[in-house]
Amino acid sequence: MTITLAFDVYGTLINTHGLLQQLQTLVGDKAQPLSVSWREKQLEYSFRRGLMSNYLPFTECTRSALEYACQLHKVELSDEQKQELLNLYGKLPAFDDTLTGLQQSDPQQFNCFAFSNGTEAAVRGLLEHAGITSFFKDVVSVDDLKTFKPNPATYDYFMQRSQGDRDRSWLISSNPFDVIGARSSGMRAVWVQRTPEAIFDDWEVEPDLIVTSLEQIGDQILDYYTDN
């Protein structure tokens, strides 16, 4: 039976800190902390909007988070500079292991989907820019539900769209909240621990597998079924 893979996009396939060079040109040594705050606040705003049922698309969470990060780090950017950063956010680079990881996901064994908080248009733009669109059977965006991961409804929606078997459907994500959300909904999940410093939340829910690179995904999942 074919195995379904739901690849998270922002932070897993695509590097959300991929604008450091542009930020360094604008803000110098504040680039790294600003990038971190931008990403953290982007996620926080999506969580809050999801909980409050006060939905705006992920692109608007990104815009608001940039405003917050600039204020936090006392960075003054013009409206034109901010808009240029937001435009570049739609062309973020893929991680170095993204292409090879997808190439090793044999289509005879795996059905691959992009599964994201981003709008379908934004996600398709990122995948096209990275040259990886052809690896995915479809793009599943939670924008259709007007909420965000890790709302349980988003994982149920993915299962409806993918028409996979839940026990053979795997979320692939570097975001612990996403892994916990998928596992809580009955899906399998792989946590991509990109750096030794990355910490998984101390919850009662753990990933089925932990990898350090997307290149390990295919073999590790196949071995999981062999061993279990």
**pLDDT, tens only, 152-180:** 999 999 999 999 999 999 999 999 999 99
Q: Out of 71, 89, 107, pick the residue that ends a domain.
A: 89
- Together in a domain, 61 and 156: no
**Residues 105 and 214 both lie in one domain:** yes
Instruction: Say which residues have a Cβ less than 8 Å from residue 209's Cβ, sequence separation at least 6.
Output: 189, 190, 191, 220, 221, 224
Residue 1 pLDDT grade (very low, low, confident, very high; cuts 50, 70, 90): confident
Domain match, 223 and 156 both: yes
| Same domain, residue pair 24 and 8 | no
Q: Looking at the structure, do residues 78 and 131 belong to the same domain, yes or no?
A: no
Both 214 and 115 in one domain: the answer is yes
Band of residue 138 on the pLDDT scale cut at 50, 70, 90: very high
Domain coverage including residue 65:
20-89
Single-letter amino acid code for the residue at 56? L
Q: H-helix or E-strand containing 66?
A: helix 58-72
For the chain, give the mean pLDDT: 96
Q: Distance between CA atoms of 58 and 45, rounded to whole angstroms? A: 9
Which residues does residue 138 pair with via DSSP β-bridges, in sequence order? 113
One domain for residues 27 and 8:
no
CATH number of domain containing 76: 1.10.150.240
Say which residues have a Cβ less than 8 Å from residue 218's Cβ, sequence separation at least 6. 101, 104, 105, 106, 109, 110
Taking the model in full, what pTM does it have?
Answer: 0.96
Last residue of a domain, one of 89, 109, 127: 89
Angle at which helices 58-72 and 31-52 cross, to 10° = 130
User: Of 38, 54, 89, which residue constitutes the final position of a domain?
Assistant: 89
Sheet containing strand 169-173, edge to edge, reads 138-141, 110-116, 3-7, 169-173, 188-192, 209-211
Domain holding 187: CATH number? 3.40.50.1000
pLDDT tens-place string over residues 42-98: 999 999 999 999 999 999 999 999 999 999 999 999 999 999 999 999 999 999 999
| Alpha-carbon span 54 to 146, nearest angstrom | 9
Structural domains of the chain, count: 2
